[in-house]
Amino acid sequence: QLQLVESGGGLVQPGGSLRLSCAASGYRLDDYAIGWFRQAPGKEREGVSCINSSDESTYYRESVVGRFTISRDNAKNTVYLQIHSLEPEDTAVYYCAARFSGAIILTVQEMCNTPLAFPHWGQGTQVTVSS
């Protein structure tokens, strides 16, 4: 059974930085596309950044382009989300999710806009940006 555990969240001032980690166990992530999603209170869950398993292509939500970077370390079976220049609007619970590469073919943008396409989810880590 694939399990995902997020870490690295916390309380940060505007303009600060964080690195979120998503550690996997049970299966190697080499054959899984990974997505980072976030959900603020009273709002829908939205895709932040996703990375494909086959060609390592990536997608970023427009509001995070240039500030967020997604990466994989296959040796550690871990996916990261490096965040810079945090804004109060980034405050949310951040989740990582995985989908097997043999599932229905979707572009990295399509999968990042479709949370239900991801069957495996972590429990989330809270990111709070406040002065």
- State the DSSP string of 43-75: S--EEEEEE-SSS--EEE-GGGTTTEEEEEETT
Give the pLDDT band (50/70/90) at residue 19. Answer: very high
pLDDT tens profile 66-123: 999 999 998 999 999 999 999 999 999 999 999 998 888 899 999 999 999 999 999 9
| pLDDT at res. 11 | 98
| pLDDT at res. 102 | 81
pLDDT tens profile 29-62: 888 999 999 999 999 999 999 999 877 899 999 9
| pLDDT at res. 44 | 96
From CA 103, how far away is CA 72, in angstroms rounded?
Answer: 20
Neighbours of 41 (CB within 10 A): 7
| pLDDT at res. 1 | 87
From CA 42, how far away is CA 54, in angstroms rounded?
Answer: 35
In terms of Cβ atoms closer than 10 Å to its own Cβ (0-12, 13-18, 19+), residue 53 is buried
| pLDDT at res. 53 | 86
